[in-house]
Amino acid sequence: MRLPELSDIQAAHSRIRPFTHWTPVMSSKQLNELFGCELYFKCENFQKVGAFKFRGATNAVLSLTPEEKSRGVVTHSSGNHAAALALAARMNGITANIVMPENAPVVKKNAVAGYGAEITFCKPTLQSREEATRKIMDKTGATLVHPYDNFNVICGQGTAALELLHEKGDLDIVIAPVGGGGLMSGTSTCVKGISNDIQVIGAEPLNANDAFTSFTTGILTPSVNPLTVADGLLTSLSELTFSVIRNNVDGIFTAKEETIIDCMLLVWERMKIVIEPSSATVLAIIKENPGFFRGKKTGLIISGGNVDFRKLPF
Amino acid sequence: MRLPELSDIQAAHSRIRPFTHWTPVMSSKQLNELFGCELYFKCENFQKVGAFKFRGATNAVLSLTPEEKSRGVVTHSSGNHAAALALAARMNGITANIVMPENAPVVKKNAVAGYGAEITFCKPTLQSREEATRKIMDKTGATLVHPYDNFNVICGQGTAALELLHEKGDLDIVIAPVGGGGLMSGTSTCVKGISNDIQVIGAEPLNANDAFTSFTTGILTPSVNPLTVADGLLTSLSELTFSVIRNNVDGIFTAKEETIIDCMLLVWERMKIVIEPSSATVLAIIKENPGFFRGKKTGLIISGGNVDFRKLPF
């Protein structure tokens, strides 16, 4: 199992740069005063499809051979990765097949359909999802682009941290949220490749703390039926992402649901930007661990801004 | 009655520049496709206190003589202007007295108090408000800084359009929302001073359409008990702002409540920025008048992003 290196992320960045937004790094004097540290928000909520996922999906698509491109890509996802792969495929003139659970929210189905992907609905079980995906692969020869358990996807996700450190090289700490671990793997590989002096911390909901458990015990331990407002962080680490994270990450901190919601609202109110609950998790661990971060220059990867405004948690 | 000119706005900009944010101009490919025109959003939601009001308040404070400064400033407002004047005064080491109705939302009272202003509560009537203000002026000699019926405030508000046209000079149309008319007066003076070829359009809620009525009849006609979700646009034009607007503005368009709410949500969802209902009014008139704006490069002054997230209109 080859693990990504900084040079892989740099190559991914050159590859995806014509297709992606170089998102802004924002700061807020009010939040700096409130938390007693210097915060630099890498705003992937402003990325295409509203999430960092577009980086990894684009890198995966652009890394295909011409022959693979002609057979298209396939993935199973009901979230940001589905929309990201659909758009990345369309921008490169290839077919995307997306397997979605039949009970996925209509707004997500419409988003993926709007990007021109072919959607296959399945029962909302792991078995049904894998069967449907396998069937498409057998029939079309499409390449599976897993949401996070994929070398090229991880390298693409790491490009957000590359841009952050290009603009703000003197950070003490970089925090990213941890779900399946794709963003955290790319981020930590990038940061540690650039400087061993910068600490890399993962942020995870206490209610979906498989990465925390796996990291502290050293044994890959998936979550069982996790339930959190941070709906992008329900997935568990894979062997690949766990290996990268064990190598590179300095610590994983967890945050309570109410802190995540408070911090989401705080960013909306003070910074006037829309971030999703998964993104608020990175600020929530600062709120719950003020001593650790006090006085530190901290970069926060804001994963996205896709929120269902009709179902707000406050 | 001297009316502001472009040179007054340029002087105001030099004066306030060290204290204000040069806010970004944002665009959205998705919204451009949806509305069939090129939209450039001047994002005053990212201004200090979350609204353009900080520009006018700062210009008014900096235009005082040293002797006037020593006696402080006073205004009556329960909204963005109160917070703006409080912060502008604090940043310049002078006293701000704010008259607020006793039934103002706690969150607004706290914001103004947080900026160190002295608050005087009054009954929620025009008479009580004016009496309280007069009493403070008599006692302290403080200078009244009216939210919009004030030369220096208007010049400050016009600096948002100055920055917009500095970055994007080839616009066909500039739209600003109209409440008391301070922003519209400053914007239209600035735009017409730079180029007579750029159309200036005011956006107003149909439910608070005093500017539309005054503009079309030629007779200043205040609203009576207007009720709209765009709570920053409840006020009516003054003689000063009406005069400026008659001279400079090409048209005033109105928008329905449901269009304003739809457009607010659309900007939150697609652009991932928080704008207040008053700001959404500028996009709402485009939605209701697609033929007028089709194919046009249109600048939109986004007035602010102060929203009560616990009382959303959707």
Length in residues, chain B = 314
**Cross-chain CB nearest to B273 (options A269, A272, A310):** A272
Residues paired with B40 in a beta bridge: B299
Give contacts of A269 with chain B, Cβ < 8 Å: 274, 309
Instruction: Please state, as a whole number, how many other Cβ atoms lie within 10 Å of the Cβ of residue A191.
Output: 28
Of B259, B260, B274, nearest to B304 by C-alpha is: B274
Answer yes or no: do A273 and B269 touch at CB < 8 A: no
Note whether A107 and A101 are within 8 A (CB). Answer: no
pLDDT at B274 over 80: yes
Take residue B313 and report the two structure tokens written for it: 């209109």
pLDDT, tens digit, 9 for 90 and up, residues B117-167: 999 999 988 899 999 999 999 999 999 999 999 999 999 999 999 999 999
d(CA A49, CA A23): 13
pLDDT, tens digit, 9 for 90 and up, residues B244-266: 999 999 999 999 999 999 999 99
Crossing angle between the packed helical segments B239-248 and B210-217, to the nearest 10 degrees: 60
Q: A239 vs chain B: nearest CA distance in angstroms? A: 34
- What chain A holds in terms of domains, given with CATH numbers, is 6-52+152-302 (3.40.50.1100), 54-149 (3.40.50.1100)
Answer yes or no: do A50 and B314 touch at CB < 8 A: no
Answer yes or no: do B265 and A309 touch at CB < 8 A: yes
> How much is the pTM?
0.95
Answer yes or no: do B309 and A314 touch at CB < 8 A: yes
Note whether A145 and A85 are within 8 A (CB). Answer: yes
**Residue B299 to residues B38, B164, B167, B307: CA-CA distances in angstroms?**
8, 8, 11, 22
**Residue B145 to residues B6, B78, B92, B151, B265: CA-CA distances in angstroms?**
21, 14, 15, 10, 33
Is any Cβ of chain A less than 8 angstroms from the Cβ of B265? yes
**Cross-chain CB nearest to B314 (options A274, A309, A314):** A309
Is any Cβ of chain A less than 8 angstroms from the Cβ of B33? no
Give contacts of A24 with chain B, Cβ < 8 Å: 24
d(CA B174, CA B300): 6
Answer yes or no: do B50 and A272 touch at CB < 8 A: yes
Please report the residues numbered 266 through 295 in chain A whose beta carbons come closer than 8 angstroms to any beta carbon of chain B: 268-269, 272-275
Q: Which conformational region is residue A178 in: left (phi greater than 0), alpha (psi within -120 to 50 degrees), or beta? A: beta
- In the block, residue with structure tokens 């077919």: A95
Ordered DSSP codes for A183-228: HHHHHHHHHHHH-TTSEEEEEEEGGG-HHHHHHHHSS----SS---
Is any Cβ of chain A less than 8 angstroms from the Cβ of B45? yes
Q: Which residue of chain A comes nearest to B270, CA vs CA?
A: A50
Length in residues, chain A = 314
| pLDDT (0 to 100) of residue B249 | 98
- For residue A10, what pLDDT band results from cuts at 50, 70 and 90? very high
pLDDT at A26 over 90: yes
How far does CA B83 lie from the centroid of its chain?
13
Q: How many CA atoms lie within 13 A of B138 on its CB side?
A: 6
φ, ψ dihedrals at A23, nearest 5°: -75, 155
Take residue A67 and report the two structure tokens written for it: 């022959």
Which of B107, B262, B272 should we substitute to test contact with A (largest number of A Cβ atoms within 10 Å)?
Answer: B272
Mean pLDDT for A239-253 is 98
How far does CA B154 lie from the centroid of its chain?
9
Please, what is the Cα angle at B264 between B259 and B269, to 5 degrees? Answer: 125
Is any Cβ of chain B less than 8 angstroms from the Cβ of A311? no
